Structure 1
Amino acid sequence: MQQSSIASNKSINAKSAGGNSALWKRIVLHKYMYLLALPGVLYFIIFKFVPMWGLLLAFKEYNPYSGFTGSEWVGFKYFSELFSDANFYIMMRNTFAINIFGLVFLFPIPILLALMLNEVRHETFKRFNQSIVYLPHFLSWVVVASMTFFILSTDVGIINKLISESGHETISFLSNPNYFWGLLTAQSMWKEAGWGTIIFLAAMAGVDPQRYEAAVVDGANRWRQIWHITLPAIRPTIIILLILRLGHMADVGFEQILLMMNPLVLSVAEVFDTYAYTHGILKGQISMGITVGMFKGVVGFVLVIVSNYIVKKLGHEGIY
């Protein structure tokens, strides 16, 4: 019995050694590919995985003098405070409402824009238009917020000057809560729609041209070609990006919100990111800020899992 056990252990060790040898052979064989991937792997290890130790502070009463290990454990104290906060459901409403606006109005725009650019046959004109729609992405939110102020403010705004000169009363675009979510969505559409076309244009470039030629022979016009060839070809890309987008439903553009919010729109502008900034940075409650970030991460993780499950049940490819 003992000899059989020893033989079994030797067999397992031999298989393990053989597996390690095969792994090293693959690494040596594809060494340049691994070297190419090394910067990305190091980035995720250093900036994504190592900082995850900081999540422990969500369960501690962090004291800078006691340090990371010396701070007192408080369990779910900060989670309880977050969920019992009077503004918690307001923040959740605002966060999800802003993201739903973006999902409904912003997400389809890069797809439509990419379809239109893909139909342009003059290469120079096409590249010129691509460059124009990409440019807003490189502007900071400070510049975008300043432009919005000079266009929509009641004092110096171009729109309100035109309204005033036409004999009508000016409109408080920037201080009216009813306009805030739409204003944020419009800003994001102008700034990011062009940049979002890059992935879809790349997916369209991979479509076999012979499929379009066969469709022309069968008498399909451009609309039919888009509907039956282009859109099905980019459907996996759309689904993957949609799932990833749902994973950020608890996130909003913190810088954009911070620049655009004011006391008059606070009821519709307060989100988890600004709450974490107020408590974690301004008030020095580091543990509360980390608690908010952890809660957002859990919400995003659950949404990705659920949406990926639904997509696969519908017969499409998910992200895993």
Structure 2
Amino acid sequence: MKCRYLYVLALPGFLFLILFKLGPLWGLLLAFQDYSPFKGIAGSDWVGFKHFIELFESANFYTMLRNTLIINLFGLVFNFPLPILLALMLNEVRHELFKKLNQSIVYLPHFLSWVIVASMTFFILSTDVGIVNKIFKSLGIETVPFLSSPGYFWGLITSQSIWKEAGWGTIIFLAAIAGVDPQRYEAAVMDGATRFQQIWHITLPAIRTTIVILLILRLGHIADVGFEQVLLMINPLVREVGEVFDTYAYTQGILRGKISIGVTVGLFKGIVGLVFVVTANYIVKKLGYEGIY
């Protein structure tokens, strides 16, 4: 075949998709069973929508829904636009060595685990050993319980995500900007356009499709909050604002052995994400933009 080498190149990706994305879908059956590891799927009793009803009637359901949506809303408002702005700024750097150095610096936090990020946050903001509160003490200012105050939790989670992922998110936008025809900028310069005008009228419209597609895909994770991050940052004093579907699934499915409940939560999150993606894609196409399908 003419394109056989391209198929060979794509083969690892297809195998990954089949083994780790499509293959495990059979596990969704557990949401409709009272699953027991000793009986297996074939021997476990079918209970229909019992676990869904239990989830919706849970005293914590609306609290988890509120926390999950607000954390993701903060991410959409603050975390999603920042990689675009950062990519535009990096694109304006003309000194190649300085540009690559800055790219390396902003990419680096992505490769740190959430354990390291949470530890850094503790040593910076904790009441006892935190650097910030030590500075407050030295200045005679009352210490602030950043890690144990519910009022700071959502902002803290959002700030961590921005610091860790904003730089990594610039990669796709920088690639999209690199595909813009340089002749368009040359024509703009001849017409007397400033750098800001070139960004506003050339760069942003050129990467608009990329922005819209990534926004739609981001909405697909509207019910998904970083499990490791929240689990490491949550404590009994902030549980009211920190309990999300991911931590609930972990508590019920792993710690209490209610595996079917954990699967039910995951399936519910997937359905919510699907609804948001389909709705957002429909609205985007109605507005005249290109969607994801």
- Normalised by the length of structure 2, the TM-score is 0.99
Matched, 1:226 2:199: yes
Matched, 1:53 2:29: no
Give CA deviations for 1:134-190 in whole Å, capped at 9, x if unaligned. 001111101000110010011011110111111111000000000000000001111
Distance 1:158 1:177 in 2: 20
Distance 1:190 1:63 in 2: 42
1:7 maps to which residue?
none
> Mapping of 1:1-320 within 5 angstroms?
28-320=1-293
Distance 2:12 2:42 in 1: 30
Distance 2:152 2:292 in 1: 36
Give CA deviations for 1:64-113 in whole Å, capped at 9, x if unaligned. 12111111110000000000000000000000000000110110100000
In structure 2, give the amino acid aligned to 1:246.
L
Quote how far apart the aligned CAs of 1:258 are. Answer: 0.4
In structure 2, give the amino acid aligned to 1:243.
I
**Secondary structure of 1:75 counterpart:** coil
- Normalised by the length of structure 1, the TM-score is 0.91
Structure with the largest fraction of helix: 1
Distance 2:93 2:180 in 1: 16
In structure 2, give the amino acid aligned to 1:192.
E
Larger radius of gyration: 1
Distance 2:24 2:115 in 1: 28
Which structure 1 residue ranges, 5 or more long, are not aligned?
1-27
List 4+ stretches of structure 1 deviating above 3 A: none
How well do the aligned residues superpose, as a CA RMSD in angstroms? 0.6
Greater displacement, 32-41 / 142-151: 32-41
In structure 2, give the amino acid aligned to 1:223.
F
In structure 2, give the amino acid aligned to 1:239.
V
**Matched residue pairs, number?**
293
Give CA deviations for 1:258-297 in whole Å, capped at 9, x if unaligned. 0000000000000000000000000000100000000000
In structure 1, give the amino acid aligned to 2:140.
G
**Secondary structure of 1:301 counterpart:** helix
Quote how far apart the aligned CAs of 1:29 are. Answer: 2.5
**Secondary structure of 1:187 counterpart:** helix
Quote how far apart the aligned CAs of 1:35 are. Answer: 1.2
Quote how far apart the aligned CAs of 1:45 are. Answer: 0.8
In structure 1, give the amino acid aligned to 2:113.
S
Distance 1:226 1:220 in 2: 10
Distance 1:135 1:291 in 2: 36
Distance 1:65 1:185 in 2: 41
In structure 2, give the amino acid aligned to 1:146.
S
Quote how far apart the aligned CAs of 1:38 are. Answer: 1.1
